[in-house]
Amino acid sequence: MLEKSNRTGGVINTMNEDGFIYETGPSTGVLSSSELAELFSSITDRCKPEIAGNDSKRRYILKKNHWEALPGGLFAAIKTPLFTWYDKFRILGEPFRRKACYPDEPVASMVVRRLGKSYLDYAVDPFVSGVYAGDPWQLITRHALPKLYALEDNHGGFIRGTIALHKNVKKQPPKSHANHPTREVFSVNGGLKNLVEVLADEIGVENCIIGCDNMVTEFKNGEYQINFTNSAGQSVEIGTSVLVTTVGGYALPELLPYIDKSLTDTLADTTYSPVIHAAVGYKHWTGVKLDGFGGLIPARENRRILGVLYPSAIFSGRAPEGGAMLSVFMGGIKNREMINLPDEEIIAILKEEIRLTMKTTNEPDLIRIHKHKHAIAQYDIKSEARFNAIDKIEKEFPGLIIAGSMSGGIGMADRVKQAKEVAKRVALFTDRDL
């Protein structure tokens, strides 16, 4: 494994500082695939998932500067002020609405058509901001939210599809919890960095070369030559019959110069949302009650943060007793320019937004700013061309596998699922048992 940075794990990293434990990249994952459940089952003696407490099921949405809980049932859905009464009554007709004729319908269009504008504004828009840091008018439903798309495509609507899936689940025989996705929110004991370290150890630290710079590949006589400069400044060349890349699309034209430029340019044209992740710690918390997973902020509320997660409320040891650890997200597709602001300006905005939305009366004891220019690949109208380009490249160059978040989803569970599929392909190429 060749890694450009000076550590393995990409953006996943955990810091322990002054009584606070915080992540610099993803804060949590969801046990939403059997592959991820199987991975934890295989390494449970060295790295155990820390399942979030019951409070993690409580999610908040900001409306008129007040946090409202997302409804978890029919009665709560009727009472909630998040949605208009017009849309609440209109939802009764959702099962009878026609399916879309346009396969590349944006998420926003589909939600307004089936549920109503208030459901877009105060449920789906903040959800999309929390997952993709994206714009629901740009994300294509069948690519970005394939399960939501399937509810209409396979069953005729959201309500019909949900009922059908619920019936199907009841018919399924019980499965082993250890190897079965539970949809639970998780971290790992001590932070996600510990998972990365265990995986690196599984690979073999001697097989992980970090600090690789000036990397470029060549294709000669059916073999891939990888040239790079190591951390000692020495030129290194490695030959291989199978090459897997998970780098972002923006870097592929330079990394793979022998491939038709029109194809690598299509991959380089992948849209990425720029995200600022701020770790904010308080030794004594005086703000709103932290009794949930966190809160998301709809675009129409005109705030300068996307949302606030409460890691210390759902995982143990993340902040001193009586304190709080917050993960605050800023930027995204709708506020691209924020990534270019100096840290001191970001911190000033951050403090003011937390004061107003979280009702704090004291200054934070810790603020750490982490900028991710290419944080999250967007599954927009360009996605189909990207997927086709990947297929064409892999067919033309056997043994070359283009993976990463450009295809197959953006979550940790998606990455683990893709990794297993890649491992099977590598085993076939090299004629080895998996």
Residue 94 maps to which CATH number?
A: 1.10.3110.10
- Same domain, residue pair 356 and 220: no
- Same domain, residue pair 220 and 314: no
Residue 258 maps to which CATH number?
A: 3.50.50.60
CA atoms within a 13 Å half-sphere pointing along the CA-CB vector of 159: 11
Average pLDDT, the chain: 93
Q: Which two tokens stand for residue 371?
A: 């900028």
Is 434 a residue whose pLDDT tops 60? no
- Same domain, residue pair 279 and 404: no
| DSSP-derived secondary structure letter, 382 | T
Rg (CA), the chain: 23
* Domain end residue (candidates: 144, 171, 198): 171
- Same domain, residue pair 328 and 373: yes
**Structure pTM?**
0.93
Other beta carbons within 10 angstroms of residue 166's beta carbon come to 9
Segment 89-110 shows an average pLDDT of 92
- Same domain, residue pair 166 and 300: no
| pLDDT for res 241 | 94
Residue 112 — very low, low, confident or very high, per pLDDT cuts 50/70/90? very high
Residue 174 — very low, low, confident or very high, per pLDDT cuts 50/70/90? very low
| pLDDT for res 253 | 97
Is residue 69 a part of any domain in this protein?
A: no
For 365-403, what is each residue's pLDDT tens digit?
Answer: 999 999 999 999 999 999 999 999 999 999 999 999 999
Q: Measure the N-to-C terminal CA separation of the chain; round to a whole number of Å.
A: 17
Is residue 2 a part of any domain in this protein?
A: no
Segment 88-109 shows an average pLDDT of 92
Strands (E), 91-134: none
- On the 0-12 / 13-18 / 19+ scale of CB atoms within 10 A, 280 is buried
- Same domain, residue pair 264 and 135: no
- Same domain, residue pair 266 and 191: yes
Segment 203-218 shows an average pLDDT of 93
The total number of structural domains in the chain stands at 3
Domain that holds residue 191: 14-18+29-53+184-270+380-430
**Which residue in 56, 101, 60 sits closest to 81, CA to CA?**
60
Contact 402, 303 (CB under 8 A): no
**Residue 73 CB contacts under 8 Å (≥ 6 apart), including other chains:** none
Q: How far apart are CA 120 and CA 107, in angstroms?
A: 9
Residue 369 maps to which CATH number?
A: 3.90.660.20
For 253-286, what is each residue's pLDDT tens digit?
Answer: 999 999 999 999 999 999 999 999 999 999 999 9
Q: How far apart are CA 23 and CA 365, in angstroms?
A: 16
- Pick the residue with more confidence: 228 or 74? 228
| pLDDT for res 115 | 95
